[in-house]
Structure 1
Amino acid sequence: MYTADAHCDALLKIAQSDSPTVNRETLKRGGVGLQNFALFAPVENSIQDQQEMIIKEMTLFHMCIQQDNNLHWNPNSYLQKENSYTDAILSLEGAGMFRDDLDWWRDLKNKGLEMASLTWNEKNDLAAGSAQSNRYGVTKAGEKVIKWQHENQIVTDAAHLNEKSFWRVMELADLVTVSHANVRALHDHPRNLTDEQISALVRKEGFLGLTFYPLFINGTNSADFSDLGRQVEHLCTLGAAHIIGFGSDFDGVPATVDGLSNPSHYPSFIEWLLKRFDESIVEGIAGENFRRFWNNKRSIQD
């Protein structure tokens, strides 16, 4: 079954000379047809160090594309379903280091960036992250960046935003994802979405990637397929089955769902889902919903 993942941190692992769980072999064994690779720099570092880390990761991304014939990258093409390789997408997780400097943003786009979030969990010059008070939200500089993203068909990723920033993004942006989050009605964590936020994402025809981090799923250090299944059940009751998929956060979290620690385990989870949900719903969650969202995005830029 076609499989897609809306978020992983493999590039940071490689940049730190570590071995990522998202790699050629695990992607192939998992049948992953579409993988989003996030650029990320630790926010405690200086702005210059963060910028240099993003440039380093972007260089590594293009090196991986050149060296691995199982990874394909073409931001101007439609994503096909029946491929034997993995299509790659490049995104930015947290954009505070680039502020509203449009020269930086144009350079990022020219090097293949297709999606970006304004913050990680911190408050920066663009917006306020999920760890911040709702006294803070999207700044004027952030609004400028969202407007530029809209004009340049860059998807605005609303993951990691606090609620005030989220709602402002929903007002200003047309192409919106929440690449990796979970359901707040099932576990009250600021990184998770309320039912109201999920319903707004449905109306916007956006996308929500479910992350595999137990702390977000149930508040503990351990979660299983049943815990993720409850997320799917709840989202289906909200009419969100057609906008949800995987947003694993592989290589970016210290723990994952039992039996789902790298892309090679997707077939087992998909098989589990097929025993509990209609095949059409599972096909959407496994990858078709994200592929459709991305092809719609690329049709706008044509």
Structure 2
Amino acid sequence: MYKIFRTTALLLIIGFIAHVGSASAAAGSFLDQAIKLMEICPLLDTHIDLPQIIRSLNRRPLDALLQLNGSFPGHVDIPRMRQGRLGGAFWTVWAPCYDVVDEDPGPDFNTPTNHLRDAMEMLDIIQNMIARHSGDLQYARSSAEVWDAFRAGKIASLIGMEGTHVLGNSLGVLRVFAQLGVRYLTLTHTCHSAFASSAGPGTPIAQAHEGTGLTDLGKELVRELNRVGIMVDLSHTTDATMRQAIAVSEAPVVWTHAGARALWDHPRNVPDDVLSLIGDGPGQKDGVIQSIFFPPFIGPNPGANVSRVADHMEHIARIVGRHRVGIASDFDGMWTTVDGLEDASKYPNIVAELLSRGWTPEEMCGVMGGNLMRIMDAVDAVSERLKGRLPSSAIWEKRKDLPSTKWGGGGEQVYWPRDVKDKVEKMQLRHDEL
């Protein structure tokens, strides 16, 4: 019933958009048209790093949350989001790679780090941020919930996770994050993980996995992401990881913040041959590419501006179609910005730029959020289809802590029943004999 209501509402919205667009062409500027359009369709930004700013500036991060209602350092606060007519945001659960925090997991990725703890604390910041600002922010996981928040006059707040190095090499940890509402997972950040190979920070990094792509555990991860309904995000990954993930995934894939490599040769951008794998044809997979605002990926810098961001979007659209592009700022996760998109108050500028290039209101409704929500719905449909599939029992092949033969306690093995102790001792004897 709700699906019928939502479909009817969207048809009415599209009709109204067409009327506003034709009337505004004569009556006002493209910026005026953009603002009116953004009041009808939600603009979803798939990558905002505000939680890391909160954590970076405050020893007691939760104490800083109330400050978001005023002027806050960085690119994002509630007044600027409201000024920029932001309809929804994916707040990122992230912890920097080990080269930044000097926590080396070792060549086998088995040396413990604080990444999982830090990721959990970032998720806690996001949950409390939404709860403290319930008049402006509303939690959402599905496209229907995005529309619910938008109609209520609130900013839909979704959760993304950046980098599998925060998972502790564990599919079990992934499943818990799924229960906590994570909606996409970026397969790497700027470092390799036990799951996948990274494109690095922009300069070459040493190879960690044969073929510079997914590991066997990484392929299991992609399948498990499909099962639990988390979008597979290919930003930051190597070309080989992109291709393999597209081939393995049963659900559409996303790039939550990336540009076109043909326009600016950076390893973080998507090459045309990979873009050509996205579509409806044989051997292709559906997906969406959300275009980033970070100048090093847009180029040339200095000089990158809103027009250049639109160039990337149009190049991508020429290959995959205008119904497979979207918007992703990377606000609060970058040290410089493009001219015209300096902070969260400036979103109307990119909408106006594309309108000025002849993109229709209907197409812009898709670019702002409709294209992404279509992919979210498709990922949810695959998850529903796979709900009878058992959770993957795969583990990182280089882990040495399973089975947990030291969990029995002291010399008397006080935590185990006698028969369990006997079995473990026999296992250890066989290992010694080997």
TM-score w.r.t. the length of structure 2 is 0.66
Residue aligned with 2:314, SS: helix
Letter in 2 for 1:51: L
Distance 1:300 1:82 in 2: 27
Return the match for 1:189 from 266, 269, 272: 266
With CA pairs under 8 Å and 6+ residues apart, which has the higher RCO, 1 or 2? 1
Return the match for 1:255 from 328, 336, 339: 336
Residue aligned with 1:32, SS: coil
Give the superposition deviation at 1:229: 2.2
Deviations 1:245-301 (A, max 9, x none): 111100111111112122211113312321112223322222222233224434555
Which residue in the other structure is 1:170 paired with?
246
Deviations 1:49-80 (A, max 9, x none): 21121111110001011111211113256131
Return the match for 1:103 from 172, 176, 185: 172
Matched, 1:151 2:220: no
| CA RMSD of superposed structures (Å) | 2.0
Which residue in the other structure is 2:192 paired with?
123
Give the superposition deviation at 1:83: 4.1
Matched, 1:284 2:361: no
Matched, 1:136 2:212: yes
Return the match for 2:52 from 2, 8, 12: 12
The percentage of counterpart residues that share the same residue type is 24
Which residue in the other structure is 1:29 paired with?
83
Distance 2:381 2:301 in 1: 41
Give the superposition deviation at 1:36: 0.8
Distance 1:204 1:124 in 2: 25
Letter in 2 for 1:9: D
Which sits farther off after the overlay, 89-98 or 273-282?
A: 273-282
Larger-Rg structure: 2
Return the match for 1:243 from 316, 324, 338: 324
Letter in 2 for 1:186: L
Return the match for 2:161 from 85, 92, 109: 92
Greater helix share, 1 or 2?
A: 2
Return the match for 1:50 from 90, 115, 119: 115
Distance 1:291 1:135 in 2: 33
- Structure 1 pair 233–106 and aligned structure 2 pair: CA distance change class (3 A): closer
Deviations 1:125-149 (A, max 9, x none): 1111013458421111212211211
- State the aligned residue count: 302
Give the superposition deviation at 1:90: 0.7
Matched, 1:160 2:236: yes
Question: Which runs of structure 1 show a deviation greater than 4 angstroms over 4 or more consecutive aligned residues?
Answer: 299-302
Counterpart contact for 1:198–1:240, Cα < 8 Å: no
Which consecutive unaligned segments of at least 5 residues does structure 2 have?
1-37, 59-72, 104-111, 385-434
Which consecutive unaligned segments of at least 5 residues does structure 1 have?
none
Give the superposition deviation at 1:201: 2.6
Deviations 1:211-246 (A, max 9, x none): 001111124233112212221332232142111111
Distance 1:76 1:215 in 2: 32
Which residue in the other structure is 1:64 paired with?
129
TM-score w.r.t. the length of structure 1 is 0.93
Which residue in the other structure is 2:33 paired with?
none
Distance 1:177 1:112 in 2: 17
Return the match for 1:230 from 286, 311, 319: 311
- Structure 1 pair 83–198 and aligned structure 2 pair: CA distance change class (3 A): farther
Distance 1:300 1:141 in 2: 21
